[in-house]
Amino acid sequence: MIPREHLDFGACVSSGQVFRFKEVGKKWVGVDGSNIIEAIETADGWSVRSCPDPRAWMDLLQMGQNLLQIKRTIADCEPRLTRQLEAYPGLRLLRCQRSDETLFSFLCTPNNNMARIGRMVRELAAYGKEMGEGLFEFPGVGRIAAIPEAELRSKGFGYRAATITKVARELAQRPSGWLDGLRQVPYENAIRALSELPGVGPKLADCVCLFGLHHSQAVPFDVHLWRAATRLYFPAWSGKSLTALRYRSAGSEFRRRFGNTAGWAQQYLFYERIAAAGTPVCNY
């Protein structure tokens, strides 16, 4: 049993980090890699299990990381984030097993909302191996590359269908393990490599780096986070658009202040918007 101050499973899987977990009754169910993960909230906290690997849920939720210490580090770096840190106890940065699922999931996010993103990602997942009722192991790059663009458009992917198809075919031409290999290179190198893929801009590349490649210094800026950054660090840019130069400057400032906890800090600011909206929203 995990106390709530160490884990809020529902917040973790509904905070724009992953898109294939659903609340069924009192239970959350989803897939990470080749594992089905289930979580139930009780009076004492959260009970979580995974199958077939009984430790998979701990890897996804980074249970080896001391959340209270991470939050103390963030608060020491920026006391003005204390309110967010206290408001969302148990919110953790996820460490997804499949980098390719993270990439294709975030290719569904431009100009979209959480509910629709989740539906699209589940449509893609259904091309993979069935693991249980309505649960699928995410298909490999080769399988996605073989999906006709028109077929994805017929499923409601819109213009994103073209990007997904192009990226899959590009990855299929690269050496095996190329994407996972970006976990081992410096963050800046990973960003540059991802940005070479069709339709992958700085924000999407940061999402993939943070959630799929485990570069915890990555900071994906959406409109809300940009407003928070201008309020905190760039008041002269308040009300101004997020240009490429400003995006780089804001990310550098977060990394300078928070170091390897920059990605954790942004997740609390991002989740604040989701909580304030009452229903999940997403404007990647």
Give how far Cα 221 sits from Cα of 19, 101, 119, 187, Å: 19, 20, 23, 16
Catalytically active residues, by annotation: 203
**Per-residue pLDDT tens for 179-228?**
999 999 999 999 999 999 999 999 999 999 999 999 999 999 988 889 88
What pLDDT tens digit does each residue of the chain (284 aa) get? 999 999 999 999 999 999 999 999 889 999 999 999 999 999 999 999 999 999 999 999 999 999 999 999 999 999 999 999 999 999 999 999 999 999 999 999 999 998 999 999 999 999 999 998 899 999 999 999 999 999 999 999 999 999 999 999 999 999 999 999 999 999 999 999 999 999 999 999 999 999 999 999 999 998 888 988 999 999 999 999 999 999 999 999 999 999 999 999 999 999 988 787 664 444 44
The amino acid at residue 95 is: R
Q: Residue ranges of the domains in the chain?
A: 1-64
Q: Are 137 and 143 in contact (CB under 8 A)?
A: no
Sign for the pseudo-dihedral over CA of 167, 169, 175, 177: positive
